[in-house]
């Protein structure tokens, strides 16, 4: 779990990400998202919709053990984050790490 948190921090600092379920869904439908990370308490309807669209676009997803408030803190934000889309992993190896799980 700590490794994922560290990787998310690296991705946010050195890569390109989008935050928020609406932005993730919109970008997932129109762009090439490499990975989607969801909080453990992401609303069921939103989670199902993101998982469905990620299946259509062959985009992997990962559900963290952190709730949206903790996930927001991991992302360096003072507000809850339920979904994070990674467009460029930057200096991290998060795509390889999540593929192992």
pLDDT in tens, 3-26: 888 899 999 999 999 999 999 999
Alpha-carbon gap, residue 53 to 23, rounded angstroms: 13
Domain ranges of the chain: 2-100
What was the pLDDT predicted at 4? 83
**Homologous superfamily of 2-100 in CATH?**
Ribosomal protein L30/S12 (3.30.1330.30)
Which has more confidence, 93 or 86?
Answer: 86
Alpha-carbon gap, residue 63 to 61, rounded angstroms: 7
Specify whether the CB–CB gap between 40 and 4 falls below 8 A. Answer: no
Q: Which secondary structure element, helix H or strand E, spans residue 71, and what is its range?
A: helix 68-74
Does residue 41 register a pLDDT over 50? yes
């Amino acid at each position: 779990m700590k490794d994922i948190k560290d990787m998310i921090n690296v991705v946010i600092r050195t890569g390109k990400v989008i935050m928020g379920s609406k932005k993730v869904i919109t970008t997932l439908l129109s762009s090439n998202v490499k990975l989607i990370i969801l909080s453990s308490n992401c609303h069921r309807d939103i989670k199902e919709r993101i998982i469905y669209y990620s299946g259509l676009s062959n985009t992997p997803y990962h559900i963290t053990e952190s709730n949206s408030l903790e996930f927001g803190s991991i992302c360096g934000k003072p507000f809850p984050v339920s979904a994070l889309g990674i467009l460029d992993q930057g200096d991290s190896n998060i795509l390889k790490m999540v593929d192992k799980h």
